[in-house]
Amino acid sequence: MNLSELQRALRQLRLGGMAAVLETRLRQAQAETMAPIDLISSLISDELTRRCDRLLERRRKQAGFRDPNKTLDNFDFTFNPKMNRSLVFDLATAAFISKREDALFLGPGGTGKSHLAQAIGQAAIQQNYKVIYRETHVLLDELADAVLDGTRKQYMESVAAVPLLIIDDFGMRRLPHTAAEDLLEIVMRRYERASTLLTSNRPVEDWGKLLGDVAAVTAMLDRILHHGHVLKCGPRSWRTKMAAIADARSDGGSGAIK
């Protein structure tokens, strides 16, 4: 076989990572007088790296993050210095997922709850866990669509089985009258079987009124908090700060906050 034929054969064998770097590796082998086993090892390593990268990218897309670029590296911990950084990084190790524990992020809007939730989701994917991210109203809309399609059972099974389910922005929008029962069912299905991370800008004392079902909320919180980690975010709002900076710049161009 010549080079192009060998590359084509590798692709037919679904070894695209090898095919992509074959010519480069052969030139390296000639230049460095590589032993055959070293050349083969390099090609296998290239293939494994490519497969790993593609798997991670596929899982990121499947997760459905609202802001895929939100990571711990670009989170400003100095803005709210009293935040429990140790807890954030403990959660980012994904140890809580292996223990099937839960997490609850509470705080006013703009304090970093969604950013941190998605960053932890990204970290979990890096450690080979599957993740689903949904804003609360989107999750419930999908469930309602599944009811209409006759696929509710399959949808609930998929939501129940994923190792980390992130339910973001609970309390931000008006929810359907079935929200309490639906959320309780999801939490109950996942309790001690998989990890749920929920964020809310509303204090837990308001949840019963918000959902109109105090008993369901009590049962849901009981399960989330039983093996749960609570992170309090705030009180300062990053979005409010950035809006103030933008207004100051548009008014005077100096960048000073009035």
In this prediction, residues 175-180 reach a mean pLDDT of: 90
Whole-Å CA distances, 157 to 146, 184, 186, 194, 221: 12, 14, 9, 12, 21
Per-residue pLDDT at 258:
33
Interval 208-220: pLDDT, tens:
888 889 999 999 9
122 token code pair: 């990204």
Q: Which residue has the higher pLDDT, 112 or 239?
A: 112
d(CA 99, CA 145): 32
Return mean pLDDT, the chain: 89
Interval 36-70: pLDDT, tens:
999 999 999 999 989 888 988 999 999 999 999 99
Question: Which of 230, 231, 228, 204 lies closest to 217, judged by CA?
Answer: 204
Least-confidence region, from 52-66, 68-82, 244-258 = 244-258
Per-residue pLDDT at 236:
58
Interval 134-158: pLDDT, tens:
999 999 999 999 999 999 999 999 9
Interval 108-126: pLDDT, tens:
888 899 999 999 999 999 9
Rg (CA), the chain: 24
d(CA 131, CA 155): 15
27 token code pair: 């030139």
Alpha helices by DSSP H, listed for 2-84, are 3-12, 16-32, 36-63
In this prediction, residues 165-177 reach a mean pLDDT of: 90
In this prediction, residues 155-164 reach a mean pLDDT of: 96
255 token code pair: 């960048």
Highest mean pLDDT among 52-56, 101-105, 170-174: 101-105
Per-residue pLDDT at 53:
87
Backbone conformation region of residue 100, classed left if phi is above 0, alpha if psi is from -120 to 50, else beta: left
d(CA 205, CA 130): 32
Q: Is 104 helix (H, G, I), strand (E, B) or coil?
A: strand
Q: Which residue has the higher pLDDT, 250 or 180?
A: 180
* Residue 188 pLDDT > 90: yes
